[in-house]
Structure 1
Amino acid sequence: MLRRAVVVVMVAVATVLGLLVVPAGATPPDRPTGPVDLVGELGGVPYEIRVPANWNRTLVMYAHGYEDAADHPGEPGRRPPNSHISEAHEQAMLNAGYAIAGSAYASAGWAVRDGIRDTRALAKHFGKVVGKPRVTLLGGYSMGSIITFESIERYAETYDGAMPSCPVGAGSTRTWDGVAAVASAYAAVYGWPAAWGRPGDVRDDLDFESEVAPILQAQLAAPDGRGKFEFMRLAAGVPTGPEWPLGIWSFATEGRAELERRAGGPITQNLDHTYRLSTSDRQYLAGLGVGGDQVDGYLSTMDKKRLGAHPKARHYLERYADYSGRIRNPVLTLHTTVDALVPQAHISAYNQTVADAGRERNAANAWTSGVGHCRFTPTQVVTATKALESWVRTGQRPGRLPAEQGFVAYDPPPWPQP
């Protein structure tokens, strides 16, 4: 473990590899020679900074996504900090001239509060140990997009622009209420196992891998399993995608348990939701063996058994984070057209939030033809980053991004619930 705010300096290795490692207390040069590879701890939180030799004076901060709290036997421990999504993405960003930096956050799980604080602290630290950027951008992925959306509202003086990717644009409360819809649909179809807690308040130490996944897998393998799980998906407004159902169920159970512990109680509600299926949905389900009477019975059960949140826990979820939409600097969202974990309707929800605040001129959307959650190529990430940087520098909104790189025009559906 590295000591607090200390960077391990290996002069001989740095000389061989051509790396410049700057001690945390050193005065940064006006224009660093490099490359610079920096690892250390800031306030006890590990971080990574990488700067290319041809630094273009733009810093791209990276807010990583959800990391399992590793609070059950057999679960891997905390990952080391990354300065971007993967080594391939890091190298592509460095090759394009960008400095990149990322924090591990002080905690794992729904660490939105820690991510906001620790990422901003690292952005300030960068200026002290490397040099002051001309432009600072914030890119966040999945849960990291929540950190990004909220940070660009709170700290416009720190971040000149933001790129929330695979973005949770509806905010935390509506997102987790969608999880409640999945739980409600499951309870209507199969009944909620008492060992899991309750549909609206899961057991605090519930483990997905050992307690939930085996039951779901057995139910899916049954002759009527596909039709029943498709009812749940449609009733909850979840699109198709590789994350359904097990990826979503990990959050609906173990992930929700961690957040409820953090927030101090149940965080989801569906008191103002209405569950209905279209005629085409009903016809589709009938073809899978789930008839109209069965569908009506499930929907009736969902409407009768409502879930309510604890006010204090709900307030925590709202704070970390629902958005005001009052953005002063450019925000370019980046999303794939197929993602069951973070549905495309999140973009419609965010665009409406920004429009309600009268700031739609500061928001734009980029779509790729990728299939799955956060499935962006390194080239796509660099291209979108360049588009955002140009917007910040020139004030000109980005136009259509290159189709040959997999960018597409797309009109997302509306958010399915209030």
Structure 2
Amino acid sequence: MPAVARLALLLGISLFTPHALAGAPVSETGELQGAPWRIDVPDNWNGELVMLAHGFEPVGTPRPSAWPANEATPALLGAGYAVAQSGYRTQGWAVADAVVDTERLRQHFTARHPDTKRTWILGFSMGGAVAIASLERHPGHYTGGVSLCGANLPGDALAGELLTTLVAFDYFFPKAEGLPVDGLASPAAAGLPQMQLYQGIATALQAQPEKRQRLATRLEVTPDELAGVISLHALVFHDMAKRHGGMLVGNQDTVYAGFGDDAAFNAGVKRYPADPAAHAKAAEELALSGALKRPLVIQFNQRDPTIVPHMQGVYPQLASRAGAMPPPVVLPPAGEGHCGFSDDQTVAALKALAGKADAAPAR
């Protein structure tokens, strides 16, 4: 298996290869203000539209000339839904761009199909955050949304999780061979090729199995998953910093727990200040309030190393504090790994959302 494919498998990142569609739906592709898009309408269209938000696409990932169908597309078409999906105008942690690009494509579709009965938004991984942000910002345009295996955290909360991972690795494995002497959160780490970063992390972890186990336990992953998780966190952290012009969050006042000797950890871990301008920009662009006005269904996979259990409860708690009406529905975990849903499970989550919407009082 090529190195890039092996790393993608470890990190749960799609390589965005085209997916063949059965049943010959009417398909269109194009571009709107720099964002490639795809629309598929089945012969048996039920009059309802699914806006499909894809996950994290690393910067530099080659894109095909026509935007490919997400793997879930054939199942949704088979269930009678039209599917519209945007490729986003930028790659990386492009949540803010994705919300705008998805909304622009929705308008494009409904202008051509003014008889559309209902519109849903469904997102995977980073696309889960796109779906939730779209519901919060454009409630009048959607009947409801589904977040599957979603990174359902406000931007500052996510950046804080990533920074914790990086400084913890640097504490337990200082000056690891092949990695920047200033650590994984330093600007020097942002310039390393991703496979080199992964190999350096993996080598350091293998050399000290006791520390590897301690860090894996704290991050809620297995030791075998740890190198992939850390390298993914570094990739996203530095992408967010570059996109927003500096570190979104700092850890100067953070009191860490769960790392064994927490007093020693807090005394020895490297501290970073947040960049005020970057923090303010992210707070505006990547905010999630929890103040839902439309039904939302959330579902995760079993044993997901990317969206671990303590991350999964963040948005439901946020929605509870905000008095979301209706509150989000969290379905029992299904499938394995990160975004390991079957076609039937994906469609079932959407059907559960439709049932929730049908039962809701008219607004």
TM-score by length of 2: 0.84
Identity of aligned residues (%): 26
When residues 360 and 275 of structure 1 are mapped into structure 2, their CA distance, relative to the original with a 3 A threshold, is: farther
Identify the residue that residue 51 of structure 1 maps to in structure 2.
Answer: 41
Letter matched to residue 172 of structure 2: V
Question: Shift in Å at residue 196 of structure 1?
Answer: 6.6
Identify the residue that residue 77 of structure 1 maps to in structure 2.
Answer: 62
Pairs aligned (count): 337
Query: Which aligned pairs between 1:250-399 and structure 2 lie closer than 5 A?
Result: 250-277=231-258, 297-298=264-265, 300-302=267-269, 305-359=270-324, 361-395=326-360
State the alpha-carbon separation in 2 of the partners of residues 172 and 100 from structure 1.
Answer: 27
State the alpha-carbon separation in 2 of the partners of residues 247 and 126 from structure 1.
Answer: 38
Of 141, 149, 156, the match for 2:139: 156
SS at match of 2:166: helix
Q: Is the contact made by 2:76 and 2:347 (CA closer than 8 Å) also made in structure 1?
A: yes
Q: Is the contact made by 1:335 and 1:344 (CA closer than 8 Å) also made in structure 2?
A: no
Letter matched to residue 67 of structure 2: P
Q: Is the contact made by 2:292 and 2:326 (CA closer than 8 Å) also made in structure 1?
A: no
Identify the residue that residue 80 of structure 2 maps to in structure 1.
Answer: 97
Identify the residue that residue 64 of structure 1 maps to in structure 2.
Answer: 54
State the alpha-carbon separation in 1 of the partners of residues 297 and 360 from structure 2.
Answer: 13
Query: Which aligned pairs between 1:134-145 and structure 2 lie closer than 5 A?
Result: 134-145=117-128
Superimposed CA distance per residue, residues 156-213 of structure 1 (whole angstroms, 9 cap, x where no aligned partner) = 1112211111122232211121111111111211225673755544337423434312
State the alpha-carbon separation in 2 of the partners of residues 370 and 141 from structure 1.
Answer: 14
Q: Is the contact made by 1:55 and 1:98 (CA closer than 8 Å) also made in structure 2?
A: yes
Q: Is the contact made by 2:167 and 2:184 (CA closer than 8 Å) also made in structure 1?
A: yes
Letter matched to residue 291 of structure 2: R
State the alpha-carbon separation in 1 of the partners of residues 298 and 23 from structure 2.
Answer: 36
SS at match of 2:219: coil
Runs of 4+ aligned structure 1 residues displaced above 6 Å come to none
Question: Shift in Å at residue 333 of structure 1?
Answer: 0.7
Identify the residue that residue 231 of structure 1 maps to in structure 2.
Answer: 214
Superimposed CA distance per residue, residues 216-265 of structure 1 (whole angstroms, 9 cap, x where no aligned partner) = 2222332x2x321222234xx42125983233223332332222111001
State the alpha-carbon separation in 2 of the partners of residues 139 and 130 from structure 1.
Answer: 19
When residues 210 and 82 of structure 1 are mapped into structure 2, their CA distance, relative to the original with a 3 A threshold, is: closer
SS at match of 1:48: strand
Question: Shift in Å at residue 360 of structure 1?
Answer: 5.4
Identify the residue that residue 209 of structure 1 maps to in structure 2.
Answer: 194
SS at match of 1:41: strand
1:179 equivalent to 2:162? Answer yes
Question: Shift in Å at residue 135 of structure 1?
Answer: 0.9
When residues 118 and 196 of structure 1 are mapped into structure 2, their CA distance, relative to the original with a 3 A threshold, is: farther
Letter matched to residue 36 of structure 2: P
When residues 200 and 221 of structure 1 are mapped into structure 2, their CA distance, relative to the original with a 3 A threshold, is: closer
Of 116, 119, 122, the match for 2:102: 119
1:195 equivalent to 2:180? Answer yes
Q: Is the contact made by 1:45 and 1:104 (CA closer than 8 Å) also made in structure 2?
A: yes
Q: Is the contact made by 1:241 and 1:339 (CA closer than 8 Å) also made in structure 2?
A: no
When residues 248 and 263 of structure 1 are mapped into structure 2, their CA distance, relative to the original with a 3 A threshold, is: same
State the alpha-carbon separation in 2 of the partners of residues 394 and 195 from structure 1.
Answer: 55
Question: Shift in Å at residue 321 of structure 1?
Answer: 1.4
RMSD: 2.5
State the alpha-carbon separation in 2 of the partners of residues 199 and 250 from structure 1.
Answer: 9
Letter matched to residue 217 of structure 1: A
Letter matched to residue 228 of structure 1: K
Superimposed CA distance per residue, residues 5-63 of structure 1 (whole angstroms, 9 cap, x where no aligned partner) = xxxxxxxxxxxx985xxxxxxxxxxxxxxx32111122232111111111111111111
Letter matched to residue 205 of structure 2: L
Letter matched to residue 66 of structure 1: F
Superimposed CA distance per residue, residues 60-108 of structure 1 (whole angstroms, 9 cap, x where no aligned partner) = 11111110101xxxxx413553443x1xx22111111111110110010
When residues 241 and 374 of structure 1 are mapped into structure 2, their CA distance, relative to the original with a 3 A threshold, is: farther
Flag the structure with larger Rg.
1
SS at match of 2:121: strand
Could you tell which deviates more after superposition, 157-166 or 263-272?
263-272
